[in-house]
Amino acid sequence: MTDTVPMIDSELSEQERLEYWAGEATRVTWNAPFTEVLDWSDAPFAKWFVGGRLNAGYNCVDRHVEAGHGDRVAFHFVGEPGDTRSISYRELQQEVGRAANALTTLGVVAGDRIAIYLPMIPEAVVAMLACARIGAPHTVVFGGFSADALAARIADRDAKVVVTADGGFRRGRPSALKPAVDDAADRCPGVEHVLVVRRTGEPIEWHEGRDLWWHDVVGTASPVHAPEAFDSEHPLFIMYTSGTTGAPKGILHTTGGYLVQVASSFETVFDHRPGDVYWCTADVGWITGHSYIVYGPLAAGATQVLYEGTPDAPHRGRWWEIIAQYGVTQFYTAPTAIRTTMKWGDDIPAAYDLTSIRVLGSVGEPINPEAHRWYRDTIGGGTAPIVDTWWQTETGAQMIAPLPGMVDAKPGAATAALPGIAIDVVDDSGASVPNGHDGYLVVREPWPAMLRTIWGDDARYVETYWSRWPGVYFAGDGARRDEDGHIWLLGRVDDVMNVSGHRLSTAEVESALVSHAAVAEAAVVAASDPTSGQAIVAFVILREDADAANPGIVAELRAHVGREIGAIAKPREVFVVPELPKTRSGKIMRRLLRDLAEQRETGDATTLADTAVMAVITAAVAGAPDAKEA
Ligand code: PRX
């Protein structure tokens, strides 16, 4: 059956590709029609659906109410403590209208930037849609990021308003968010207001004049708000992601092209039909939450589950219980989560009725065949197709995925480009590799949801993505084209790590480590990990005046990285070593450190400046029982 994979795009001419996207654009309601599908004259700076005007918030909410679907549930919200709330499209329209009016009252106008730092509660979606409605691009910062990371993002964006909460619930306990915002806002004078949702009811510090309760300001505003139409290229949001340097980059997405492609891919990849209940477990703080909780599904008028908590709170069957309770038909999660729940045992999902599941999705990292089979057999009843979707913060929308029903997915292969997407696998010279060969994953032609630039740094945009092979987008991933022409993702080929589906750069963690007073030098590598895909392993050289005998140094450095970036960036292991392996030009040979981290025999070390150094480091690593925090 695999020979029926639609390699549609390889046969599409440029004109057919543009016609295809013009057709897909009819999924969206335009206030003014576009006059040109794509303007690529200033490549690699794209303009899609040129001249078209629309409002993303209207498309995601109001038009469904106008079409008579006001009573349809937009979200079944499930709070971690067990509180639930079902929100219809009409109620969502009113909430978003109130929030848009409230932001306007606070002086926010089109083009102003808003930062959002919230748990997975309905207000996160409402705040995003309110921003879209008034043309104020949002930056959602994942709640797991620290005050430092939040401050860096607020400052880079020069955000005027921050929307946050007192906290959220995490594994049965309230987990505070407001202190990080207080800390960040103190350092960012551009922040005029902090809008605070009361979620946990825990006491918080209050900054008179700056802080405002969401229920006071939004709760009392009028629910009626007239959306304004914006240019197709009006900025919709900026999402920060890790690159190969220490500074995260702000990926800019605009309105028309993004909305068309997320709506189109959501409907086709998940085979969405009326009456379905879709659930994506991602956090709205990541691109998956933006594209496949907020903009794609809502543009399609879908009914979703929105869950605040983790899969194991208050018990390890929580996800499956929610699927059974709401009759979830499409479930979209990450391989890390699949491997974790798989480890807990088959008897847990077996206790729930999962027969409503029709399509299972996977995203964020390669899915290993064992996890793929378990997912299909144990969660999908042996019949649900698995759509393994490859894409990135930068691509904005899914790019490679088997369409359910069209292919019998091979466990572990993302298979083929979606219609209208020109994927290729190339060698060092940029030439396509034949079937059966490995190479680099590239996109040969622009696509509607593509990033438009890196916020404030056009040169870095061109350099990072478009300069390795001129005119071709380099994704940073290795890939194999198998004998059938299907694509297998092989992981990153740069210094970007993928830890539990979270993207981090080695440089980012290294700069956090060297900002600690005791650290002179640090090198970070990603070692493979059976659950999280990759795990962070750090090698540090301490300063001469640091107390190398301090038994708590490893725990202290891990905690320091947690404060600098967030808990997700804490290294699994920290080894204190006397030297780092370097070439004569001073470049750290990470390959050798990776061998050590994975407890393999170290590879060819002949290009080292000092070939004896590996023996010294190996001895230090072998004698470091406390590298992992207890
Ligand atoms: O290496 C690829 C991996 O995740 C990277 C993008 O990370 P991020 O921008 O955080 O977006 C994650 C959610 C879309 C890619 O460069 N990746 C993503 N999906 C897959 C994947 N690797 C293999 N298979 C996938 N399905």
DSSP string, 121-185: SHHHHHHHHHHHHHT--EEE--TTB-HHHHHHHHHHHT-SEEEEESEEEETTEEEE-HHHHHHHH
Ligand 1 midpoint to CA 261 (Å): 17
Please report which confidence band the pLDDT of residue 6 belongs to, taking 50, 70 and 90 as the band edges: very low
Q: Which of 228, 244, 262 is the last residue of a domain?
A: 228
Q: Who contacts 374 (Cβ-Cβ below 8 Å, separation ≥6)?
A: 338, 342
Contact criterion met (CB below 8 Å) for 304 and 278: yes
Report how far apart, in Å, the C-alpha atoms of 207 and of each of 167, 178, 183, 318 are.
16, 11, 11, 38
Q: Is residue 219 assigned to a domain?
A: yes
Do the domain assignments include residue 345?
no
Least confident of 4-8, 247-251, 309-313, 344-348: 4-8
Residues 6 or more apart whose Cβ sits within 8 Å of residue 556: 516, 518, 550
Give Cα 214 distance to the centre of its chain: 26
Percent of the chain with pLDDT strictly greater than 70 = 96
The span from the CA of 141 to the CA of 463, in Å, is 25
Helix, strand, coil percentages in the chain from 3-state DSSP, rounded to 5:
30, 25, 45
Report the distance separating Cα 497 and Cα 574, nearest Å.
16
pTM of the model: 0.92
Q: What are phi and psi for residue 161, nearest 5 degrees? A: -130, 140
Dist. CA 393 → ligand 1 center (Å): 8
| Choice between 608 and 279, residue whose per-residue pLDDT is larger | 279
Of 573, 480, 509, 28, residue with least CA distance to 242 = 509
Report phi then psi at 3, rounded to 5: -75, 0
For position 177, which CATH number holds? 3.40.50.980
CA of 491 from ligand 1 middle (Å) equals 8
Task: State in Å, rounded, how far the first CA of the chain is from the last one.
Answer: 50
Q: What is the pLDDT, as a whole number, of residue 8?
A: 38
Which residue, by CA, sits nearest to atom 5 of ligand 1? Answer: 392
- Ligand 1 centroid, distance to 339 Cα (angstroms): 17
Encode pLDDT of 229-286 as tens digits: 999 999 999 999 987 777 789 999 999 999 999 999 999 999 999 999 999 999 999 9
Q: Which residue has the higher pLDDT, 483 or 450?
A: 450
What is the pLDDT, as a whole number, of residue 601?
81
**Among 23-27, 66-70, 621-625, whose mean pLDDT is lowest?**
621-625
C-alpha–C-alpha distance, residues 118 and 164, integer Å: 5
Residue 559 has pLDDT above 80, yes or no: yes
SS3 assignment, position 571: coil
Q: CA 159, 165, 171, 173 torsion: positive or negative?
A: positive
Under a CB-based contact definition with an 8 Å cutoff, are residues 376 and 382 in contact?
A: yes
Helix (H, G, I), strand (E, B) or coil at 333: strand
Closest residue CA from atom 26 of ligand 1: 390
**Residue with token string 């003014």:** 32
Q: Which segment of 25-34, 71-80, 192-201, 618-627 scores lowest on mean pLDDT?
A: 618-627
99 closest CA partner among 79, 77, 83, 116:
116
Does residue 411 fall inside a structural domain? no
Omega before 314 cis (within 30°)? yes
CATH label of the domain that carries residue 552: 3.30.300.30
Q: Which residue is it, tokens 């029903």?
A: 405
Q: Summarize the confidence of residues 181-198 as an average pLDDT.
A: 95
- Domain holding 596, by residue range, is 500-622
194-204 average pLDDT score: 98
Q: Which residues contact 33 (CB under 8 A, 6 or more apart)?
A: 51, 52
Asked if residue 69 lies in contact with residue 189, where contact means CB atoms within 8 angstroms, the answer is no
Residue 531, domain member (yes or no): yes
What percent of the chain is predicted at pLDDT more than 90? 77
The answer to whether the beta carbons of residues 291 and 251 sit under 8 Å apart is no
Among 228, 250, 281, the domain boundary falls at 228
Ligand 1 test: best mutation among 363, 410, 441, 492, most atoms within 8 Å of CB? 363
User: What pLDDT is recorded for position 571?
Assistant: 96
Domain assignment of residue 119, yes or no: yes
- What pLDDT does residue 546 have? 82
Residue 410 DSSP class: P
93-116 residue pLDDT tens:
999 999 999 999 999 999 999 999
Number of other CB atoms surrounding residue 381 within 10 Å: 13
**If you measure from the C-alpha of residue 501 to the centroid of ligand 1, how many angstroms do you get, rounded to a whole number?**
7
Q: What mean pLDDT, rounded, does the chain reach?
A: 92
| Pocket mutation for ligand 1, best pick of 390, 440, 451, 499 (most atoms within 8 Å of C-beta) | 390
Residue pair 471/43 in contact (Cβ under 8 Å)? The answer is yes
Report the SS3 class of residue 478: strand
**Residue ranges lining ligand 1, Cβ < 6 Å:** 241, 287-288, 363-366, 388-393, 414, 475-477, 489, 492, 498, 503
Query: Which of the listed residues 207, 228, 249 is the one where a domain comes to its end?
Result: 228
pLDDT at 404: 66
Determine whether 14 is exposed, middle or buried from the number of CB atoms within 10 Å of its CB (0-12, 13-18, 19+): exposed
**pLDDT for 4 beyond 50:** no
Residue 185 has pLDDT above 70, yes or no: yes
- CA-to-CA distance for 218 and 343, rounded, in angstroms? 44
Three-class SS state of 214: helix
Residue 398 CA to ligand 1 centre (angstroms)? 10
What is the token pair recorded at 287?
């691109």
Q: Strands, DSSP E only, in 245-344?
A: 249-254, 277-280, 303-307, 330-333
DSSP label at residue 431 = P
DSSP state of 417: B
Mean pLDDT of 327-346: 96
Residue-level pLDDT at 412: 66
- Give the integer Cα–Cα distance in Å for 441 and 477: 6
The pLDDT value given to residue 393 = 97
Arithmetic mean of pLDDT, 297-313: 96
Q: What are phi and psi of 280, to 5 degrees?
A: -115, 125
596 vs 121, residue with greater confidence: 121
In this structure, is residue 548 part of a structural domain?
yes
Q: Identify which of 156-160, 172-176, 545-549, 579-583 has the greatest average pLDDT.
A: 172-176
Tokens of 426: 């190339």
Q: What Rg, from alpha-carbon coordinates, does the chain have?
A: 24
Is residue 346 in a domain? no
CA distance 122 to 627: 40
Q: Is residue 254 part of a domain?
A: no
CA of 426 to the centre of ligand 1 (A): 18
Closest residue CA from atom 13 of ligand 1 = 364
Q: What's the domain count of the chain?
A: 2
